[in-house]
Structure 1
Amino acid sequence: MKAYRMLTEDEVLQLKSQSCLADDWNNVLVSSDFNTAYVHHTRFSGNVKLGSFDGEFTLKGGIKKHAGLRHVTLHNVTVGDCCCIENIQNYIANYEIGDHTFIENVDIILVDGLSKFGNGVEVAVLNETGGREVLINDKLSAHQAYILALYRHRPELINRIKEITDFYSNKHASDKGAIGSHVMIVNTGSIKNVRIGDYCYIEGTCRLKNGSINSNADAPVHIGYGVICEDFIISSGSHVDDGTMLSRCFVGQACQLGHNYSASDSLFFSNCQGENGEACAIFAGPFTVTHHKSTLLIAGMFSFMNAGSGSNQSNHMYKLGPIHQGTLERGAKTTSDSYILWPARVGAFSLVMGRHVNHADTSNLPFSYLIEQGNTTYLVPGVNLRSVGTIRDAQKWPKRDKRKDPNKLDYINYNLLSPYTIQKMFKGREILKELKRVSGETSEIYSFQSAKIKNSSLNKGIGFYEIAIQKFLGNSIIKRLEGVDFKSCEEIRARLKPDTEIGLGEWVDVSGLIAPKSEVDKLLDGIENGDINRLDEMNTSFETMHQNYYTYEWTWAYNKIQEFYKLNSDEITVQDIINIVNQWKEAVIGLDKMVYADAKKEFSLSSMTGFGADGSREEKEQDFEQVRGVFESNPFVTAVLKHIDDKTVLGNELINRIGHLA
């Protein structure tokens, strides 16, 4: 605890001579090394504590300003060491300010009454009329929010989570705000009931009201020009700039919102980006990206999603109001001018093109295209597995994780193929086979819910899903057996046995976290019965699921290997494993060749349209080459070819290592 003393008579006289006033000088306490030389035109009201004013700040352009107080009114304020506060148009009231903080040209900074600083604000996500409210808080993860928004069929669980959040919010409520150390606030309007963390940079902001900015030294937060935020929480490492307007919003770690982006009643989790467009009542899971002016995201749940320009959704049909909602599962994309009439559900890693008004549910047909032709939704199952764009997306997401904070709120699984997506491919494969059986193999068009599937698309879809299943199961068995020299088939069988029974059954994607549903249910039971009483404990449970993903994954994969290849765990032979690996090699190489062929389209003559200013075909090709490079040396293309070689070597290595036991 820092020691303070009262001002001496000489110090009071000196301050008065420097145009300083106080309602009661006895209520102004200072540190032992306080120096009156750096306090001018300052009014003190209520209880004020001042640190030392040693040191100076070097601002942009090279100008230097010494620490001190100039032209400011302070009411019930504690100022740390080496701070510079000047030109406050109104006053600063009820704040504790850390060390080395610079505040200049601000209208007003105050806490008025008891404030929770954005904690406990209800965000009417997904359904604008209410019913799925998420109570935001400093420690909110995408996974917590997912449970709170979607598990309304368990009212006792929802009540308990609300109680836990309310306890946290009330515990951190105060009539005194905090501005951390090494903070810079310049050329800003009104800041009311806002808690500001260390190393935050606020410049040119219009208005901030009732919120928390959870900045820290590892991951500073930047709030820029023209920003208006009300009833909000902004997490570490985020950047909110250029006229962004937020109302009742949570902004997760390392998000970027700018270029006049507007959002209300929305949640943005790790690494989301929003520019130019508008969001209303959306649940933006990790890596939700929207960049375009005419794009409206409304009443939807997204993650790993990229919205094309002009993407739009409708959440009401002009009957009972905006009550409908929809989901684009992880990795789904929308093309320019796409439209979806909610309710609808689009399967993982699918591409939406055109206008869709028939409420399709393609969740069990992932990696598909949804194409509009003549107001009809046509479904092309599994085709996105061969898309170069899908593979490129999967590679880029881990590289684009900008979170610097060691305390990460969201636990993100980047795997393209996982028990979550493969279980859907198993279901999708059965759906397509059943359509074929019921409608006949020679049907030109098959109907699935409100969508149409062409005969050729259906047959190819079955093939795509089988290739992906073989690839995933082969990957799993190779990983399980790597690095061990086996002496007998019994040793191999022993190694294949899972380390735990956890992982069997259904898997879920809890907004970025892929986990067995049984483990999620166990957590929810713990919350309901009172075993889990804190937000930290909930986040720790999610972390445990994330860390044990590969252990649980093998339990699921081993069970599916037996089912898919019709094997018995006690009778698996070396030859069975060799057969699985050979099929895996064919699947991996076959899929890579499809991706390679898809990439080659980007270097076709038609793709060169627009290249070459005024010249011949030769000049067009040369111009294209200078800008886009040569196909064979494209980094992605070379990576695909290397992947084929590496996987071939990996499969052959296992076959050679166990082949003598066959």
Structure 2
Amino acid sequence: MKNNIIKKPINQLGYNFIDAPYIPDGKDEYYLRNTQNRSGIEYRQLTAFEIEALVRNRNTSDNWNKILVSDLFNPELVKNCKFFGLVRIGQLENVCLDFSDLSMPVGLYNSTIISCDFGDNVVVNDVHYMSHVIVGDEVILSNINELVTSNHSKFGNGIVKDGEDESVRIWLEICNENGGRKVLPFNSMLSGDAWLWSKYRDHAELLEKFKIFTEKEFKTKNGYYGKIGDRTVIKNTAIIKDVWIGSDAYIKGASKIKNVTINSGEEGISQIGEGCEIVNGIIGFGCRIFYGVKAIRFVMGNHSQLKYGARLINSYLGSNSTISCCEVLNSLIFPGHEQHHNNSFLCAALVMGQSNIPAGATIGSNHNSRSADGEFIAKRGFWPALCSNIKHNSKFPTFTMLARGNYAYDLDIKIPFSLVSVNESENRLDIMVGYWFLYNMYALTRNAWKAGDRDARIQKPLLLEFDYLAPDSVNEIIVALGIIENAVGEAYLLKYPNESKENNSSKIGKQLLSEGNSVIDELEICLKNVEHSNRKVLLTKVRKGYDVFREMLYYYSLNELYRYFVIENHSLDTIYQWEIVGNMHDWLNVGGQLMTQNSVSELIGKIENEKIQSWDDVHHFYQKQAAIYPKQKLSLALVILKDYFSSDYPNWIEKDLSRFFEDFIAIESKINQAVIQSRQKDYELSFRKMMYDNQQEMDEVLGAFDKNAFILQKKDELEVIKQKLVKFHQNSEC
């Protein structure tokens, strides 16, 4: 086999970018280019003097009449360049552009330029081959081997151009390695879009509509030029092909960037650094990609990072996330994800945000399966320990922590806020109920604060939920309470079969737990259908966990009342207008935004019935749901108060609200104390203190405990709550 090298006349170089059959009647090959160039510059032909100066400066052109310039063009700032085709150049002033430690004179030097447009005061230096690119104002391009655009460029979007075969379309095979959940990437794709498309595979009409929406977003015509936005800097880079780059981006030392959209500008400046290879992708605003990253067939949400040799392949990475050093394949990751260290691996996974994957974690290996079709699902707040090995298929609820271990069997955990561990000595799986609330409140509350604090998005098309107590986690607590009650009842009947006249295990368990009966501590409380094995799955800390679950349900409800009446300042009589309807167990995490099952069903129905006809319409639906979300959260709180705490809704307003707020302060104070205690252990444990000769050394290294910024913040927040409630009661009495 030989390389197919075709000889063409030199006078064709720079022309016929669009094949004749694809040029509309009455148009020329520049008709799309002219619509893309919005610089407002009025170009003219060169004067004889300017041509003479260009020739003197060792420039060549196949046709000087094809070089168009602005009135403020300076030919002395163009040296040793080769021009082919129609080239348009803006103002060139005798100044230099400084960026970081780089300072370069404005002008075009030592470059081969084919059919390109340039804005005002650009630097083009040692660009060895540049073709069919539109460049903005004050752009710096230095030492680039190849900067080209093909006539069928798609800039990372999953579309097919006129005349192309369907086989060239780019798909993202997320959540499953066999492609059964594949989606089409597109610029402005949100994590919610990717989740809907990958999830509802049984809705053939919906999937077809999503494909149509994507194709409508972009023109299929051949002949669009690549673009480089104003003030973007690209230096010391090997290959850039079929790339659309926003303003103020910074690219240095990249090896290859091909078929990519790089969003950059006021919403966030994006950067790509040394040794990176980026192919077939969409990069959101404010993203940073550095040091040997390999990203292929991917979408990155706004303000995310890839660093230190990370590999992101066939995956969607949600906004405000960071992946370093490791390998992520065929995954859909919601916002607020952290994954560092070279030896962690994530494959065929749906990870729903606020997650942290540690060193040595191997999640979703298909090598011990008969086929590459396994899947892994972790809801918000998934934190496995170092060197955890989890196989397909496994599913975890919100805020699950895994102790270090080899989880060799399929798992279906349904108890949120738990610590799951492998008890090797007893050959069983242990689930500690309410672990986060009981022993790690500092990390839990700080995670919620940190996730919100790191949300750098300016435009927020998805309303991301960061609070650890939200409709998704609260409803999982409700489900878990029923599971625990049934398990306790079954364990009691197994040990004392003749002592109870009531054979309903759930009722027995609920009674024992409500009484706080110490007999529970004597029971071996096991769960069924949790692990695909014959070994036991044991619940631990059941009484404490059950009590703290109920307390957190109560706290969630009181917090929503506080928000509604005190923060939002609604009058008391408005609560009588509320009609509590709907199932409170039907919340879904749609890319980081929580919606009811009914809302998602409504969205799907409207898409299938063509009442929603574009991705913009879908995103508008998200915004409408965001607007009613606070009311839905309060509605859930009222249901909980009515069904679980016997409040006489809505008649409790006058008689119980003061008591509710007293309880709210009490629980808030208790949480603050738990935050302090869970962090204080790190300062009092002898095995931590042995590293330091004295308290001063420890304080210098760790920071003094009494100056912990987060703890001080929580204390201040508690005082603010107390003051607001005092003021609220005073106003109510008036």
Same fold (TM over 0.5): yes
2:544 equivalent in structure 1: 460
Q: How does 1:566-645 map to 2 (within 5 A)?
A: 566-569=646-649, 571-572=651-652, 574-612=654-692, 619-643=693-717, 645=719
Partner Cα distance (1:649, 1:378) in 2? 43
Q: Distance in 1 between matches of 2:462 and 2:237?
A: 31
**Helix, strand or coil at the partner of 1:330:** coil
Instruction: Give the secondary structure class of the aligned counterpart of 1:15.
Output: helix
- Whether the 8 Å contact between 1:358 and 1:450 is mirrored in structure 2 is no
Query: Counterpart in 2 of 1:473?
Result: 557
Distance 2:227 2:344 in 1: 37
In 2, Cα distance between equivalents of 1:485 and 1:549: 17
1:97 and 2:173 correspond? no
Aligned equivalents of 2:580, 2:219: Cα separation in 1: 40
Which 5+ residue runs of structure 2 have no aligned equivalent?
1-39, 159-169, 493-519
Partner-residue secondary structure (3-state), 2:346: strand
Question: Does the alignment pair 1:162 with 2:211?
Answer: yes
Matched, 1:557 2:637: yes
TM-aligned CA distance change 1:98 to 1:378, over 3 Å? same
Residue type at the aligned position of 1:383: Y
Deviates more, 1:312-321 or 1:416-425: 312-321
Q: Is the 8 A contact 1:39 1:68 kept in 2?
A: yes
Q: Tell me the alpha carbon deviations over residues 448-496 of structure 1, each in whole angstroms, 9 at most, x when there is no partner.
A: 423556465222221121010010111122333338999xxxx845435
8 Å Cα contact 2:472/2:589 also seen in 1:
yes
Instruction: Give the deviation of 1:274 after TM superposition.
Output: 1.0
Q: 1:496 to 1:339 in 2, by over 3 A?
A: farther
Change (3 A) 1:224 1:581: same
Question: Which stretch has the larger CA shift, 380-389 or 53-62?
Answer: 53-62
Shift of 1:250: 0.8
Distance 1:40 1:658 in 2: 79
Cα distance per residue 1:513-555 (max 9 Å; x no partner)? 1122222222222211112222222112212222332122112
Matches within 5 A, 1:415-494: 415-440=467-492, 441=520, 442-450=522-530, 454=538, 456-482=540-566, 492=572, 494=574
Q: Alignment partner for residue 78 of structure 1, among 87, 96, 117? A: 117
Instruction: Report SS of the residue matched to 1:394.
Output: helix
How far is 1:15 from its partner? 1.6
CA distance in 2, matches of 1:231, 1:393: 33
For residues 24 and 455 of structure 1, the distance between their equivalents in structure 2, rounded to whole angstroms, comes to 81
Q: Find 2:385's aligned residue among 328, 335, 340.
A: 335
Q: Choose from 411, 415, 429 the match for 1:377.
A: 429
Matches within 5 A, 1:156-305: 156-170=205-219, 174-302=223-351, 303-305=353-355
Which residue in the other structure is 1:616 paired with? none
Alpha carbons of structure 1 residues 593 and 270: separation in structure 2 relative to 1, 3 Å: same
CA distance in 2, matches of 1:533, 1:332: 35
1:132-166, Cα deviation, whole Å (9 max, x unpaired)? 11211111111111111112122211110111012
Distance in 2 separating the partners of 1:217 and 1:478? 36
Q: Aligned to 1:122, what secondary structure does the other structure show? A: coil
Structure 1 match to 2:191: 142
Give the TM-score of the pair, scaled to structure 2. Answer: 0.83
- What's the Cα RMSD here? 2.6
Tell whether the 8 Å contact from 1:596 to 1:640 is kept in structure 2 after alignment.
no
1:658/1:205 CA distance change after superposition, 3 Å = same
- The whole-number CA distance in structure 2 between the counterparts of 1:520 and 1:562 is 26
- Structure 1 unaligned regions, length at least 5: 613-618
CA distance in 1, matches of 2:101, 2:327: 38
Q: Counterpart amino acid of 2:333?
A: A
SS at match of 2:111: strand
- Please give the secondary structure, in 1, of the residue aligned with 2:197: helix
Verify: 1:308 aligned to 2:347, yes or no. Answer: no
Could you say what secondary structure the match of 1:182 adopts? coil
- C-alpha contact 2:263 2:285 (8 A) present in aligned 1: yes
Distance 1:651 1:453 in 2: 45
Task: Give the structure 1 partner of residue 151 of structure 2.
Answer: 113
SS for the counterpart of 1:103 is strand
Contact 1:142–1:512 (CA under 8 A) maintained in structure 2:
yes
* SS of equivalent residue, structure 1 residue 135: coil
Please state if 1:530 is matched with 2:610: yes
Q: Is the 8 A contact 1:480 1:495 kept in 2?
A: no
- Pair 63,594 (structure 1): closer, same or farther in 2 beyond 3 Å: closer
Matched, 1:133 2:182: yes
Among 328, 341, 352, which residue is 2:402 paired with? 352
SS of aligned partner of 1:123? coil
- 1:407 equivalent to 2:459? Answer yes
Which whole-Å CA distance do the structure 2 matches of 1:461 and 1:632 have between them? 29
Q: Which deviates the most, 72-81 or 645-654? A: 645-654
- Distance (whole Å) between structure 2 residues aligned to residue 32 and residue 84 of structure 1: 18
Deviates more, 1:492-501 or 1:368-377: 492-501
The answer to whether the Cα contact below 8 Å between 2:557 and 2:634 also exists between their aligned partners in 1 is no
Q: Which residue of structure 2 aligns with residue 615 of structure 1? A: none
Summarize the alignment of residues 11-26 of structure 1 with structure 2, pairs less than 5 Å apart: 11-26=50-65
CA distance in 1, matches of 2:488, 2:354: 32
Distance 1:514 1:393 in 2: 18
Q: CA deviation at 1:264?
A: 0.7
Contact kept? 1:478, 1:654, Cα under 8 Å: no
* C-alpha contact 2:93 2:106 (8 A) present in aligned 1: yes
- Residue 592 (structure 2) aligned to one of 494, 505, 512: 512
Alignment partner of 2:420: what SS? strand
Structure 1 residues 485 and 266: CA distance shift in structure 2, 3 A: closer
Return the offset for 1:624.
1.6
Question: One-letter code of the match for 1:604?
Answer: E
Partners of 1:201 and 1:634 lie apart in 2 by 36
Could you say which residue in structure 1 is the equivalent of 2:444?
Answer: 390
The amino acid of 1:599's aligned partner reads R
Which SS does the other structure have where 1:459 is aligned?
Answer: helix
Task: Note if contact 1:157-1:527 (Cα within 8 Å) is conserved in structure 2.
Answer: yes
The aligned residue for residue 164 of structure 2 is: none
Q: In the alignment, what sits opposite 2:70?
A: 31
Equivalent position of 1:324 in the other structure? 374
Distance 1:226 1:2, change over 3 A: same
In 1, Cα distance between the equivalents of 2:146 and 2:233?
15
| Amino acid aligned to 2:133 | Y
Say which SS state the counterpart of residue 519 (structure 1) adopts: helix
Counterpart contact for 2:488–2:525, Cα < 8 Å: no
| Paired residue secondary structure (1:175) | coil
The structural deviation recorded for 1:648 is 5.3
Corresponding residue number in structure 2 for 1:51: 90
Instruction: Point out the more displaced range, 473-482 or 570-579.
Output: 570-579
Alpha-carbon shift at residue 578 of structure 1 (Å): 4.0
Quick one: distance in 1 between partners of 2:412 and 2:174? 21
The residue aligned with 1:41 is 80
In structure 2, C-alpha distance between the alignment counterparts of 1:426 and 1:53, rounded to whole Å: 68
* Secondary structure of 2:359 counterpart: coil
Are the equivalent residues in 1 in contact too, given 2:242–2:260 (CA < 8 A)?
yes
